Amino acid sequence: MKPIQIDGSFGEGGGQVLRTSLALAALTGRHLEIDNIRAGRKKPGLRPQHLTAVRAVAALCAAECQGAELGSRRLAFRPGGPPAGGEYCFDVAEAARGGSAGSTTLIAQAVLWPLTFAGRSSRLTLRGGTHVPWSPPFHYLRDVVLAAASEMGLRAAATLKSWGWYPVGGGEVELVVHPAGRLAGLQLAEPGELLRVTGEAVVTNLPAHIPQRMADRARRLLEREGVVSDVKPLRKRGPSAGAGIFLTAHYLNGPAGFSALGRRGKPSEEVAEEACAALLNHHRSGAAVDRHLADQLVLPLALAAGDSLLATSQISQHTLTNVHVIGQFIDAEIKVEQRGPRGIIRITGTGFHV
């Protein structure tokens, strides 16, 4: 059988093409050849977190790789067997020269679904960045992605062992995944009632007044809009200084997540305002699924049994890219209906099982 040829410059032209391709190659056993890796990025080719994802998925399915090195724009990936559960440890620093804050949650994206269909349970230690720009923070993985996917039959849990901020990294996440056998579809047309908003305003190695100011500002902004929240200020220790706020909106039909990160010179109140604005914009849209969750659910729903529907506040380029890549591997039917920024995604899954 000929390898599946993927153009890494398609759509958003970033790491999403690579992660989705790796996960589906591992699940289907199809050989993969991907060119123009991350061609749409300022620094194209495999960066430390992408190389770590390649090595991680390769370890799960005993794959042979060509081009698995920093900066490579082409990869040949040949699975040697179905995904195997077990104990694994993947450290982004091992793929970097001098350490890295490469995202642990993006590595989790690549391995989560192959391990869901493995023959036994898995326990992974992922080291690197846990709360870094341009990737979902740990809180989003735990409180939104895993929570929403549990309704499909996913049996997984994530634990934060150590905080890792940009640019130092050094964080650690433990991910436990149990075999699901087969996933069920989801019908998320309406969010249902907003039950509550929870959150954490967190710093490591910084003064305690900073998380307090973030939490107070977030509570006041949400209260002004009639939204009751419980945002806790937390001061932690870690390998480096860092700050951020992480909010989860708990709707009757599922969660949505919003966050903002601090940086030197950025007022604490501005960090809180950024996250609250994203939450309130989503809430006003009346959509059931935030734009990042739609992106992350398309792949498992394409593997699930039966029909699914996602009403999302925004059809992102990441989502459209995922839809395209999925279609190169499996015969799931995916229809995207854009209605301004909002959209409806209808999926008839394959009922994949090992």
Question: Annotated active-site positions, please?
Answer: 318
| Alpha-carbon Rg for the chain in angstroms | 19
Sequence length of the chain is: 354
Residues 205 and 295: their CA atoms lie apart, in Å, by 33
φ/ψ of residue 284, rounded to 5: -70, -25
Residue 22 dihedral angles phi and psi, to the nearest 5°: -65, -45
CA distance 354 to 339: 37
d(CA 173, CA 184): 27
Tell me 35's DSSP state: E
State the residue for tokens 């996602």: 310
Q: Sort 81 into a burial class: Cβ within 10 Å, 0-12 / 13-18 / 19+.
A: exposed
Could you tell me the two tokens for 217?
């500002």
Residue 112's closest CA among 61, 161, 154?
Answer: 154
DSSP 83-129: ---SEEEEEGGGGSSS----BHHHHHHHHHHHHHTSSS-EEEEEEEB
| Terminal C-alpha separation, the chain | 20
**What 3-state DSSP class applies to 341?**
coil
Beta bridge partners of 206: none
